[in-house]
Amino acid sequence: MNEILKYFPHLSEEQGRQFEQLGTLYREWNEKINVISRKDIEHLYLHHVLHSLSIAKALNFKKGTRILDLGTGGGFPGIPLAIMFPECQFKLIDGTGKKILVTKEIATAVGLSNVQAMQIRGEEEKEKFDFVVSRAVMPLPDLCKLVRKNISNKHQNAMPNGIFCLKGGNIDGEIHPFRKSIEVMEISNWFDEEWFKEKYLIYLPI
């Protein structure tokens, strides 16, 4: 939790309480349904919550923004972003029912009324959103092809509508087709922990 306050010191009391609850809730649920690897659960705030919040460093979503979290797993990056942006609407989807169960239960437990979690594949999702967020679910060309249909053409934020994708390691191959329009942000420019070296936030306007 200290990692969150270090980089986001101006949280409301409610947001602080919600972020604090995540630690206990994810540990409890992870005992029943494994959504985070056993050894990684000790680094929940750094590797999952703070990692997800790098998107909040790139763009301060305006009130009313609609965001789709594709392949949310246990709720990342969607749940931390929904806490950070309570006036935005989030739809979190995943094809695995157990993961969506955990996501729903945690969103309800912390009181997130701006989150809808559904077991549905990306191909089946028909709604329109301002942004799609994703955490290393699939190669960027495949992701772009899949969600292009879901990006609204009405823009309301400081950056045009599109995709925010969290990636690590060598990303040269998958970003090459988009090299003229893509923006690659090094997360280590925002967060100074060693773990964030060679971790990237990719933004692709659609």
pLDDT in tens, 110-161: 999 999 999 999 999 999 999 999 998 899 999 999 999 999 999 999 999 9
User: Residues in the chain with pLDDT < 50?
Assistant: none
| E-assigned strand segments in the chain | 66-70, 89-94, 115-119, 131-135, 162-168, 183-186, 199-205
Q: Do 129 and 93 meet the contact criterion of CB atoms below 8 Å apart?
A: no
Q: Residue 140's pLDDT is what?
A: 94
pTM over 0.95: yes
* Domains within the chain, CATH numbers bracketed: 2-205 (3.40.50.150)
Contacts of 189 (CB under 8 A, 6+ apart): none
Q: Residue 119's pLDDT is what?
A: 98
Q: Helix H segments across 135-198?
A: 140-147, 172-175
